[in-house]
Amino acid sequence: MAGKIPRQFIDELLDRTDIVDLIDARVGLKKAGKDYQACCPFHNEKSPSFTVSRDKQFYHCFGCGANGNAISFMMEYDKLEFVDAIEELASLLNLEVPREQSTGKPERTVEQKRSDYDLMMQTAKFYQHQLKHHKNASQVIEYVKSRGLSGETVQHYMIGYAPPEWESLCQQVGRNQQQKQQLIELKLASEKTPGRQFDFFRDRLMFPIRDKRGRVIAFGGRVMGDAQGPKYLNSPETRIFHKGFELYGLFEAKQANDKLDKILIVEGYMDVVALAEQGITYAVAALGTATTAEHMQTLFRTTDKVICCYDGDRAGKDAAWRALEHALPYLKDGKSLQFVFLPDGEDPDSLVQKEGKDKFEQRLSQAKEFSKVLFDKLAQSCDLTNDAGKAKLLSDALPLISKLPSEFYQESLLEKLARLIGRTTEQLSAKLATPKQQKNIERKFKVTPMRRAIGLLIQHPSLATCIDYLPELAQMNIPGIELLLELQSVCLNHPSYTTAQLLEYFRDKPQYQALQKLAVWQHEINDQALIQEFQNTFQFIEDQCLNFRLETLFIKDKTQGLTSEERQECALLMQALKR
C-alpha cells in the first residue's frame, strides 16, 4: 500500500485551489456581498442558502448544514473518498500526489502508476477482441446470448473472453521484460518456472472491474457451461486493487443514470449485467467478498437508498446481517437501507429474466426495512416470554442502536425495543451510548468563552498573533484549553493558513466535528472589533486558569502545606489576578 499523503502537500493543494472557482464550475455561484451564493447542491431548495467564502476558502449551507473546504466539497459533490478527492484536485492543477514512504520500497511515479492502468485497459481490450475473433468466439457468443445478454450490454460492461491457451495474453501484452513483470505483479499472469509466464485467466467470460474514475483495476472470470474449475475466479489483490473497497458496476451505474436515487446490491457479476439488460441499471456487486463497511460508506456517499438483494437461505440471511451491521454507522437522516430476499433457487439473474423489469421492481418496492431485519434476527436467539430473554434482547440491541447517527432512527428503534421488552422509550434512551438528550444539548450549542475563542480563531487564524502563546496553561484542568493552544500553535507555525487549511489539519482528529460547527458559527462581531474581542475572551480564559491554579494551591496549603516556591507562586498569582 502507498504511504500517507504528506500534510504539506494537502496544505499546498488547498492553497492553490480557489474554492469559488471550483464550486462555480459545478454549481454556478452569484456574488453576494463579499461572499458567493447558490441553491445548495446537497438538498432541494428554492432560494439560495449555500454560501462560499473566498477569504476562508470554505462553504456552508444554512439550510442543511453542509460545510467544508475544497476537499470536502469534492468528496460530497463528486461522491469521492478522501484520497480520490485529493487526486482529483491535484489533477486539476497538474500536480503529482506524493506519498510518504511507509515501506522500504521506492515510491512509484505517476508514469509508473499510469502504466499499470494502461496495461489493465490493454488487457480488457484484448479480452474484448478475443470475444469476437478467437476460434471459440461463436460458442462463447452463443453462451452469452443464452444468458440473455445483448451486444449493447456486453459493450457497456466491456465483457470479453480469456482464451484457453496458456500464454495468449502474455504473448500479446507482455512484449518486453518490464511488461511481463507488470503482468505478474498485477496478477494477470503467474510464473511457475523462472522466465516462463502463464495467463492467470483462461477459457472464461471476463468482466472488467472499474474504479470510480472508470479505470480498469481487476477482472472477474466466469466459467461457461459445464467447464471445470471454480464458477468465478477473481483477481487477487494488487497495488491498484483492494476488493473490500470496490463495487462491480458502480461506475457503469453512474454512467447510465444522471442521478442514482437508489442502488441495488447483489452478489454476482451476472446478476448486475442481467438486471442492466432488463433496464435495471442501478445494480452493483461486491467482489467475491461480504459487503464491507467501506462498501457501505461508498454506497451512502453515492445515493440515499440502498437495497440489499440476497437469497432467502441461511447464507443469504447471514450476508444480510453482515451488511446491516456494517451499514448502521452510515444511516444518517434521509438515508434508507432495505432488504429483499429471493425465493429458493432463484437469483436476480434468473428471476428478472422470468419476471421482467416491472415485476422484479415490484419486489423491490416491497423490500423490508432494516429495522425489521434487525429485530427479526435478534429475536431468533431470545425467548421474549421471560425476563432472561428480554434482558438478552436489550443487551444485544442497544450497542447496535447506539451506532446509528440518526436521532430519528434511534428513537424509532428504541420504541420498537420498548414494546418488545415492556419498557418505556425514556428508560432505554438513558442507556444508550449516545442518547437523544445529549444530542439535544449539543444542538443548542451554548457559546462559552472557550468556544468563543476557538470559534474566532478557526474563522480568523491571523488572531493567533494577537495574544501571547502560553503552553503552560495546558497543565490547568480547563475544558478546551489544550485545543485552543494547539490551534494557536498551528496558526503560529503556518501564518498563511485559511480556515479551510486549519480545519483540514484536524480532519482525522476527534475535535474535527466541533471545529466544523464553530467554523460556521455566526459571531456577528465586526472586523474592527475582532482583535479586541478575541483578546478580552482570551484574558478571561487565562484568568480562569490562574484562578484554578490558585484554588489548587489554597487546598494544598490547608491539607499538606506549601513549599517556599509554591508560596511565591501563590503571591504572584494573586498579584496577576488583581490587574
pLDDT digits (tens, 9 = 90+) for 240-260: 888 888 999 999 998 898 888
Domain with CATH 1.10.860.10 in the chain: 449-577
Residue 356 C-alpha cell reads as 421482467
CATH number at 381-434: 1.20.50
CA gap 201, 47 in Å, rounded: 55
CA gap 277, 279 in Å, rounded: 5
Domain with CATH 3.90.980.10 in the chain: 110-234
DSSP 69: -
What is the pLDDT at residue 1? 41
Q: Tell the CATH topology of 110-234.
A: DNA primase DNAg catalytic core, N-terminal domain (3.90.980)
Domain 247-357 = CATH 3.90.1150.10: no
CA gap 10, 3 in Å, rounded: 14
CA gap 404, 331 in Å, rounded: 6
**Greatest C-alpha distance within the chain:** 98
Residue 24 C-alpha cell reads as 462555480
CA gap 142, 125 in Å, rounded: 20
Q: Tally the C-alpha atoms within 13 A of residue 579's C-alpha that lie toward its C-beta.
A: 10
What is the pLDDT at residue 302? 85
Task: List Cβ<8 Å contacts ≥24 apart for 408-416.
Answer: 408/333, 409/331, 409/333, 409/371, 410/434, 410/436, 411/436, 412/371, 413/371, 413/374, 416/371, 416/375
Q: Tell the CATH topology of 7-92.
A: DNA Primase; Chain A (3.90.580)
E strand or H helix at 155, and its extent? helix 151-156
What is the pLDDT at residue 495? 86
CATH superfamily of 449-577: DNAb Helicase; Chain A (1.10.860.10)
Question: Which residue's C-alpha cell is 508514469?
Answer: 111
> pTM for this one?
0.65
CA gap 384, 96 in Å, rounded: 60
Angle made by CA atoms 501, 503, 506, in degrees to the nearest 5: 115
Chain length of the chain = 579
Domain with CATH 3.90.580.10 in the chain: 7-92
Residues 6 or more apart in contact with residue 556 via CB below 8 angstroms:
562, 566
Domain with CATH 3.40.1360.10 in the chain: 247-357
Task: Work out the burial of residue 381: count CB atoms within 10 Å of its CB; fewer than 13 is exposed, 13-18 middle, 19 or more buried.
Answer: exposed
Average pLDDT per block of 10 residues along the chain, 579 residues long: 76 88 87 89 84 91 88 86 86 78 57 86 96 94 94 95 92 86 92 82 95 89 82 89 89 89 93 96 87 88 91 85 92 92 91 94 95 92 86 90 88 90 80 48 61 90 88 79 90 89 88 86 82 87 76 72 74 66
